Amino acid sequence: MVLTCAPGLPQTPLPAPTRYAFCPISVEAYPIKGRADETIFALWADDASGSATGTIAVYADGLRYTIPFADSVAADVRDAKVLPTPLVVPLVFSHIDSAYVDSIAGSPCPAHSPYVSSKRQTYVVRYSGPNEVVYPDWRRRWQAFLDEADARALFPLPPGSATPEPACAKPYVGAYTIDAVSPREPYPYHGLTITRLEVAPDGSLIGARVEKSSGRNLLDQIALGAISASRFAATIYRCEPASGNYYFYTYWNP
């Protein structure tokens, strides 16, 4: 068995247990061709697509903006038939430092995976072998999303508050595994268990859930047990430790 981790890869989510503090939606930003001073924000659902109301925190040009959204569709990454609601904001894409969903329905999101780059519109990920996963090809729907953005009025940008630029060499570092514990017992099965972890600012494990089962509940439970005994490093966001989540891969090779 081999344990590896891959921060930031899009995965196939399952509903989160309520005892975990995963933020149910994330945000990404995209440039608009021919409109250098405008940016599209879109929400992505952790589970099924749905409507959401809340705020997005955006850092750009030394300012922090709190952008509200109301009844906006957060699209399911597993279903390319439902488009997210485009939020067209008068911000220069190349000037955006980072962004994340700050609150939903008035409640703050205690864990987030900050925006760094946007590739969701082009990805099609495949894993070879008996547990192949094929993700929707959003390229086929992306023009419809852009057409809807063109038809929407420019979103009014609230005044930003001055905030110092991050003053460290690596202001953004994703959570990662320091020491992966691996069970010693051999199991005569092939498979892959993908687990989503939430790591607290002090590096402790807040929670874990199986995003993609190996197909055998025993292997999934063993993977969760090994993860609970492993050690992790927290997300660094703007030079400060923050709660965040990432994906942990357990490959089963007898």
Q: pLDDT digits over 21-76, tens only?
A: 456 788 888 888 888 899 999 998 866 788 989 999 999 999 999 999 999 999 87
pLDDT, one tens digit per residue, over 205-222 is 888 878 778 888 888 888
* pTM greater than 0.85: no
The rounded distance, in Å, linking the Cα atoms of 22 and 27 is 14
Q: Is the pLDDT of residue 19 over 50?
A: no
Going by C-beta distance under 8 Å and a sequence separation of 6 or more, which residues neighbour residue 121? 30, 138, 139, 142, 145
What is the predicted pLDDT for the residue at 88?
93
| Least confident span in 82-86, 155-159, 164-168, 244-248 | 244-248
pLDDT, one tens digit per residue, over 172-198 is 888 889 998 876 666 677 788 888 788
Range with top average pLDDT, 85-89, 118-122, 162-166? 85-89
What is the predicted pLDDT for the residue at 50?
87
Q: Please give the average per-residue pLDDT across 87-108, as a whole number.
A: 89
pLDDT band at 124 (very low <50, low <70, confident <90, very high): very low
What is the predicted pLDDT for the residue at 1?
36
Q: Is the pLDDT of residue 134 over 70?
A: no
Going by C-beta distance under 8 Å and a sequence separation of 6 or more, which residues neighbour residue 146? 32, 40, 86
Selected residue with higher pLDDT from 33 and 19 = 33
